[in-house]
């Protein structure tokens, strides 16, 4: 099985719509980043959000969080927990999110 860090380096950070990526552990400790972003700060936020959204999903009966997309006018942040790690990936908001998520699904299937 491939690790999230390996897939991050070889595939995710190279997808054409990607602006920046951050990988942390579940406590928010920065493990890897690409792009012009404050990885330590946003990585900690990603970890807290992933935990809160996972708890919310459980309360709502949805089960474990797969990923969440936070959309703004110019960028989209996708937060996706994987075991002991959390991926935060920023993409161009002007492009099709559905098309990007299809590419993301293909890459992330190798991690699960």
Predicted confidence (pLDDT) per residue in 58-67, tens digit: 999 999 999 9
Q: Identify the band that residue 2 occupies on the pLDDT scale cut at 50, 70 and 90.
A: low
Predicted confidence (pLDDT) per residue in 67-112, tens digit: 999 999 899 999 999 889 999 999 998 888 888 888 888 888 776 6
Cβ of 102: how many Cβ atoms within 10 Å?
10
Residue-range domain boundaries for the chain: 4-108
Q: What is the CATH number of domain 4-108?
A: 3.30.450.30
Report which of residues 22 and 108 the model is more confident about: 22
Terminal CA-to-CA distance of the chain, rounded, Å? 8
Percentage of residues in the chain having pLDDT higher than 70: 96
């Amino acid at each position: 099985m491939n690790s999230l860090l390996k897939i991050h380096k070889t595939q995710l950070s190279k997808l054409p719509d990607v602006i920046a990526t951050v990988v942390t552990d579940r406590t928010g400790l920065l493990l890897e980043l690409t792009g012009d972003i404050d990885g330590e700060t946003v990585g900690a936020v990603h970890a807290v959000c992933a935990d809160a959204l996972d708890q919310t999903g459980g309360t709502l009966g949805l089960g474990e969080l797969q990923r969440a997309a936070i959309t703004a006018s110019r960028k989209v942040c996708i937060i996706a927990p994987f075991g002991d790690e959390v991926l935060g990936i920023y993409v161009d908001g002007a492009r099709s999110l559905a098309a990007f998520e299809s590419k993301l699904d293909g890459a992330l299937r190798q991690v699960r």
